[in-house]
Chains A and B, each alone.
Chain A
């Protein structure tokens, strides 16, 4: 099973709302990632978790708050977002071995901020 699941598929929220995106994998992977993808652009890395610890934050604004409660689950908490934060949010996971490692992506959550 090489599946990464993400919920919800679509999310519409106002600028004062608080919401969360959820990502799950059951492949035993120890690294998990959040990416943001604007229309017609490549995915851009936001956060990396390795062994449930945050190892990379690519200068993401604090209105995005990641959380890794356990090795299978990754959340992205959203608060006070701006309309320009509307995008496809992708989650991915990978093993921690070097050579044969592959990053597997979920289908994404399409976020619209009104």
Chain B
């Protein structure tokens, strides 16, 4: 299973863009990169996912390098409510029709006022 590597913690000022890096150098061609976040022992919340193109939704942007060995999650205007643990995940599909998420260790992002 492909593994991901993330910084343990990061700080960001409120209102600024938060850029969270992730390395996934062993990712295979059909494996997606997913990002989830978890706020204080709640269930993980889906943020965004991508395969090889950059993606944007109402929560964030995902930039994937051309060789797919790393990616960056961007929260464009961080708020205090964005303080959470952010997980970079490689997802692959199972033959049986389900999927397997392989979580990284996560980055604890703290947004400071």
Binding site for B on A (CB under 8 A): 4, 30-31, 33, 41-45, 48-51, 53, 55-56, 88, 90, 92, 94, 96, 98, 101-108, 110
Sorting the interface of chain B by its residue count into under 10, 10 to 19, 20 to 34 or 35 or more gives 20 to 34
The answer for the CA separation of A88 and B106 in the assembled complex, in Å, is 16
> Of all chain A residues, which has the CB nearest B1?
A45
Interface residues of B in 5-48 (CB under 8 A from A): 36, 41-46
Q: Contacts A42-B104, A98-B93, A108-B41 hold; do A55 and B46 have CB atoms under 8 A apart?
A: no
The answer for the CA separation of A42 and B43 in the assembled complex, in Å, is 11
> Of all chain A residues, which has the CB nearest B101?
A103
B43 and A48 within 8 A (CB): no
A88 and B41 within 8 A (CB): yes
Q: Is the interface of A mostly helix, strand, loop or mixed?
A: strand
> Of all chain B residues, which has the CB nearest A96?
B97
The answer for the CA separation of A108 and B41 in the assembled complex, in Å, is 8
* Listed A/B pairs (24) with beta-carbon separation below 8 Å: A31-B98, A31-B99, A42-B104, A42-B105, A43-B103, A44-B103, A45-B100, A45-B101, A48-B100, A49-B98, A50-B96, A50-B97, A51-B96, A55-B94, A56-B94, A94-B99, A96-B97, A98-B93, A102-B49, A103-B46, A105-B44, A107-B42, A107-B43, A108-B42
The answer for the CA separation of A16 and B96 in the assembled complex, in Å, is 35
The answer for the CA separation of A53 and B100 in the assembled complex, in Å, is 16
Q: Which residues of chain A are near B45, meaning CB under 8 Å? A: 105
CB distance from B24 to the nearest CB of A (A): 14
Given B43, B49, B98, which contacts A90 in the complex, CB threshold below 8 Å? Answer: B43
Q: Which residues of chain A are near B100, meaning CB under 8 Å? A: 45, 48, 56
The answer for the CA separation of A1 and B93 in the assembled complex, in Å, is 24
Q: Contacts A42-B103, A42-B106, A104-B46 hold; do A110 and B41 have CB atoms under 8 A apart?
A: yes
The answer for the CA separation of A45 and B99 in the assembled complex, in Å, is 11
A102 and B98 within 8 A (CB): no
> Of all chain B residues, which has the CB nearest A51?
B97
CB distance from A46 to the nearest CB of B (A): 12
The answer for the CA separation of A88 and B99 in the assembled complex, in Å, is 21
